[in-house]
Chain A
Amino acid sequence: MHCAACVGFLEHLAERIDGLHETTVDLPRKQLHVVLDLSALKLSELATKLADLGYAPAVVSKEGTAQRQNMRSIVGRLAVAGFSFGNIMLLALADYAQSESFASSEFKAMFGWIGMALAIPVMIYSGSGYWHSAWSAIKDKRLNIDVPVVIGMITLFVRSATEVISGAGLGYFDSLAGLVFFLLIGKWYQNHTYNSLSHERAYESWFPISVVRLSKQGPETVRIRELRKGDRIRIHNGEIAPADGRIEAGAGVMDRSFITGESDLVPAGAGTEIEAGSCWKGAVMEMKVEAPVESSKLTQLWNAEAFQKPASKELTDPINQLSGIFTPTILSIAVLAAVVHLWLGSGLVWDAFTATLIVACPCALALSVPFTYGSAMRGLGRAGAFLKNAMVVDKLAQIDAIVFDKTGTLTHSGHQRVEHFGPASQPMTKSAQRMAASLAHSSSHPLSRGILSHLMALHNWQDQDLLPIEGFQEFAGKGIEARIGGQTVRLGHAKFVASSVDGTNVNEVNEDLNTAGTSVHLAIAGCWAGGFSVQKPMRDGVADELRRLGERYELFLLSGDGNGEAARYASMFDRRAMWFSQSPADKMAHIAAMQARGMRVAMVGDGLNDAGALKQADVGVALVEDLYAFSPASDLILHASSLPALSPMLAYALQARKTIRMLFVVSLLYNIIGLFFAVQGLLTPVVAAILMPISSITVVLVALLRNEWTSWRVGLSKPFAKI
């Protein structure tokens, strides 16, 4: 769905499809709201019809409603603040002009009271978020950026109220409303950025919406919400268990990466307990549901403890780091100014003290992060990279080493060129091929899939042409094994397969069948039956990209495959920086070792098998072909076709960090100018009212413009992938 014509077409669908009453399109969010009669038209039928029309639907997260509420709340508060800001300033114009006749008229008092009245909803309603945030920070004995904001708000209100009540002037209510107004603009923009990226929608789509239930009438497909305790369901290889339960039939391995964030492969069989969210790897399994699933439990996995990086690894938000020193510094300057005035006897003690607290408000500072990193997020999103949150930009800018997984990341996960050959230069027998295919069918490893699709296509086999297998086992990093017709069949690495072949000295095994591609060996009933050579072409543009990256960063290759393809990658990686036959735990350990040496590591991997490594790295990049399926352990989801754009993206993030530094200096400059007036007691309402908007607008403009400019400069502006 991407244009106006789609709107017209989709909104008239009800005329063509029975049972469909109304359809409404939400174009920016690419959503279709439907009102339908479920007795006349099932949801699955509608989905099929939509797919046939070219609008294949994806599952939408329920969190969309919370997002909308949140946005409405921010806009509401912004509206009230803006309303008050504008009107108070309008009334204060006469005061700015410092006209004698106004100063002595009745209007002065009245305008002052109206100003106060308008400022009260701003304090109570618009500013409420800041009160909560500052209070919870103080309770935690730390200072965040909202603490000086609240100090500023209180000082502004108290000082202005005393001026109005005593008739001394109009106070600074315009600055108060203006402060809240600009801060809320920052919050709005941040929300707007997060909402426009499809992150939330994507992860929930990974989870199954329906499953095969075995009822008395036979297998039927039901929505997972309809599962009840005691139901028996069938799970295939690679599917995710939608509910907690116990396995009744079938043996294999549970991959619990979704639950624990570790590539946690647990062998399981009849009687084993299985948790919702586990990915099943093995022959077809039947399980009994013990606790019906709430989809909310599955969605919580994204935010679960297991996937939060440990606090020590979180590079802290630069703004909050700064606020640790900002607040005490401001308070000290204010007190110092007050003391000096007291000593000088100038009568400006109260003036100087309050003015300092007012003008030092970190409005410009607080706007710099949402606008810089927020617009950087949007820029990266347009280029095909979706970040978990704005702080990932900061982390990206600090990376100095990048680790790549090989299969599925640097190489296409499809498109494999497979050759097979038998032992002693004879072709592999057809029965051996059939056994290999039957065994490979139960595995989701890219090599198995490649071999399977090659053989199926070659002989035009269907699923029923394959042989039944028992005792399927997958040995991570080594191979797979099962019994077919009473014979043990093994498929995998040379050493793994050789150990099942009688009379072979494992150490003498020649790993490579030929120099190109990865070798996968086959052994049947203790005899070597030949092997397959699987060549995986690298993705387009990746070779050049790796060379470009190699100039700035240290590159490493960690692959679960054997070293058959080492020569191919030697031009892009240093020989000592490539490791093969890595298990998921090995990859994690490597990254941890690099971090121990002080490196900031980004890991680019393709999914569940890399979950642990992605979590361990400072920035975990999950490479996906399909934006609707990825690992929760990642900070960044990168569309596969955008991999060649990695170096411009990293350069862009680096520039964004520079922009933040620049903006810190700019806001500091404004603060110093303001303080110059404030400590002398010279801060009139008009000066305050001018400084704040100007500093805020400067920060926003510089952030947005610089991001646009650097995006063009690093070559990111042309989009690499459709969102």
Chain B
Amino acid sequence: MGASLWQILDHKFEAVQVIFLLILIGVLVAGGFLGAFLWALNAGQFDDTTTPPIRLSQEDSAIVSSPEERLPKEIERK
């Protein structure tokens, strides 16, 4: 059955080309997510994964994932 699928696809040249495109786009999208992860990492969101969940269950807690987010804008981060 696999052989016949290929034969069908070989005839549909455009369909085969679509798969190339799909794979490339897929890798790019996945790469985008990797980039987002690396950005979040550098923003300090993964430094502490224990406290934010506790914060969520408290009342009136600001939802922050790292102490840097709580700095007033005027203060320069060291």
Is the CB–CB distance between A28 and B50 below 8 Å? Answer: yes
Please report the C-alpha to C-alpha distance between residue A359 and residue B19 in the assembled complex, in whole angstroms: 34
Please report the C-alpha to C-alpha distance between residue A388 and residue B71 in the assembled complex, in whole angstroms: 34
Is the CB–CB distance between A101 and B30 below 8 Å? Answer: no
Q: Is B15 interfacial (CB 8 A cutoff)?
A: no
Please report the C-alpha to C-alpha distance between residue A75 and residue B42 in the assembled complex, in whole angstroms: 10
For A107, the chain B residues whose CB sits under 8 A away are 19-20
Is the CB–CB distance between A27 and B51 below 8 Å? Answer: yes
Is the CB–CB distance between B3 and A11 below 8 Å? Answer: no
Is the CB–CB distance between A25 and B2 below 8 Å? Answer: no
Among B31, B37, B44, B51, residue most surrounded by chain A Cβ atoms (within 10 Å) = B51
For A79, the chain B residues whose CB sits under 8 A away are 34, 37-38, 41
Please report the C-alpha to C-alpha distance between residue A99 and residue B50 in the assembled complex, in whole angstroms: 47
Distance of A47 from chain B, by nearest CB (Å)? 18
Give the residue of B2, B48, B58, B70 whose beta carbon is less than 8 angstroms from that of A28. B48
Is the CB–CB distance between A87 and B72 below 8 Å? Answer: no
Which A-chain residue is minimally distant from B66 (CB atoms)?
Answer: A24
Please report the C-alpha to C-alpha distance between residue A80 and residue B31 in the assembled complex, in whole angstroms: 9
The main secondary structure of chain B at its interface with chain A is helix
Interface size band for A: 35 or more
Give the residue of A11, A65, A118 whose beta carbon is less than 8 angstroms from that of B55. A11
Q: Name B41-66 residues within 8 Å CB distance of A.
A: 41-42, 44, 46-48, 50-51, 54-55, 57-62, 64, 66
Q: Is A228 interfacial (CB 8 A cutoff)?
A: no
Is the CB–CB distance between A11 and B48 below 8 Å? Answer: no
Give the residue of B23, B37, B38 whose beta carbon is less than 8 angstroms from that of A114. B23
Q: Name B1-54 residues within 8 Å CB distance of A.
A: 2-3, 6, 16, 19-20, 23-24, 27, 30-31, 34, 37-38, 41-42, 44, 46-48, 50-51, 54
CB-defined interface of A111-153 with B at 8 Å, one 1/0 digit per residue? 0001000100000000000000000000000000000000000
Q: Is A294 interfacial (CB 8 A cutoff)?
A: no
Distance of B9 from chain A, by nearest CB (Å)? 9
Please report the C-alpha to C-alpha distance between residue A298 and residue B57 in the assembled complex, in whole angstroms: 42
Q: Name A76-107 residues within 8 Å CB distance of B.
A: 76, 79-80, 83, 87, 91, 99-101, 105-107
Is the CB–CB distance between A72 and B20 below 8 Å? Answer: no
Please report the C-alpha to C-alpha distance between residue A30 and residue B35 in the assembled complex, in whole angstroms: 30
Is the CB–CB distance between A72 and B41 below 8 Å? Answer: yes
Is the CB–CB distance between B50 and A27 below 8 Å? Answer: yes
Q: Is A42 interfacial (CB 8 A cutoff)?
A: no
Is the CB–CB distance between B58 and A76 below 8 Å? Answer: no
Is the CB–CB distance between B75 and A35 below 8 Å? Answer: yes
Count, chain B residues at interface, CB 8 A: 38
Q: How many A-B residue pairs have CB under 8 A?
A: 85
Distance of B26 from chain A, by nearest CB (Å)? 9
For B61, the chain A residues whose CB sits under 8 A away are 8, 11
Is the CB–CB distance between B41 and A27 below 8 Å? Answer: no
Please report the C-alpha to C-alpha distance between residue A91 and residue B23 in the assembled complex, in whole angstroms: 9
Is the CB–CB distance between A110 and B41 below 8 Å? Answer: no
Is the CB–CB distance between B38 and A11 below 8 Å? Answer: no
Give the residue of B31, B34, B58, B72 whose beta carbon is less than 8 angstroms from that of A11. B58
Is the CB–CB distance between A4 and B38 below 8 Å? Answer: no
For B19, the chain A residues whose CB sits under 8 A away are 107
Which B-chain residue is minimally distant from A29 (CB atoms)?
Answer: B48
Given A4-B57, A21-B72: A28 and B41 within 8 A (CB)?
Answer: no
Is the CB–CB distance between B54 and A7 below 8 Å? Answer: yes
Q: Is A713 interfacial (CB 8 A cutoff)?
A: no
Which A-chain residue is minimally distant from B6 (CB atoms)?
Answer: A101
Distance of B70 from chain A, by nearest CB (Å)? 5
For B64, the chain A residues whose CB sits under 8 A away are 24
Is the CB–CB distance between B48 and A4 below 8 Å? Answer: no
Distance of A440 from chain B, by nearest CB (Å)? 46
Q: Is A314 interfacial (CB 8 A cutoff)?
A: no
Is the CB–CB distance between A33 and B70 below 8 Å? Answer: yes
Distance of A196 from chain B, by nearest CB (Å)? 11
Distance of B2 from chain A, by nearest CB (Å)? 6
Given A4-B54, A4-B57, A8-B58: A24 and B67 within 8 A (CB)?
Answer: yes
CB-defined interface of A357-380 with B at 8 Å, one 1/0 digit per residue? 000000000000000000000000
Since A8-B58, A107-B19 are in contact, a sample of 4 more A-B pairs with Cβ atoms closer than 8 Å, ordered by chain A residue number, is A4-B57, A7-B54, A72-B41, A79-B41
By Cβ-Cβ distance, the 3 closest A-B pairs, closest first, are: A33-B67, A24-B67, A8-B58
Q: Please report A residues at the B interface, Cβ cutoff 8 Å.
A: 4, 7-8, 11-12, 21-22, 24-29, 33, 35, 65, 68, 71-72, 75-76, 79-80, 83, 87, 91, 99-101, 105-107, 110, 114, 118
